[in-house]
Amino acid sequence: MNHDTYEADYIRDILEGVKTVAVVGASANQARPSFFVTKYLVDKGYTVYPLNPGLTGQEICGRTVFGSLSEVPEAIDMVDIFRNSETAAGLVDEALDLEPKPKVIWMQLTVRHDEAAKKAEAAGVRVVMNRCPKIEYGKLSGEWGWVGGNSGMISSKKQSLHGSGKMQSLGIVKR
Domain ranges in the chain? Answer: 8-132
Q: pLDDT at position 141, please?
A: 85
pLDDT of 152 above 70 = no
How far CA 109 is from CA of 1, 30, 34, 149, 163, in Å, comes to: 18, 18, 11, 17, 33
Share of the chain above pLDDT 90, in %: 78
pTM for the model stands at 0.86
Q: 143, 170 in Cβ contact below 8 A?
A: yes
Q: Count the neighbouring beta carbons within 10 Å of the beta carbon of residue 104.
A: 22
Q: Is 87 left (phi over 0), alpha (psi -120 to 50) or beta?
A: alpha
The larger pLDDT score, comparing residue 2 to residue 172, is at 2
Instruction: Tell me the C-alpha distance between 15 and 38, whole Å.
Output: 14
Q: pLDDT at position 161, please?
A: 44
Fold of 8-132: Rossmann fold (3.40.50)
Q: pLDDT at position 171, please?
A: 72
Q: pLDDT at position 150, please?
A: 57
For residue range 54-108, what is the model confidence (pLDDT) as tens digits?
A: 999 999 999 999 999 999 999 999 999 999 999 999 999 999 999 999 999 999 9
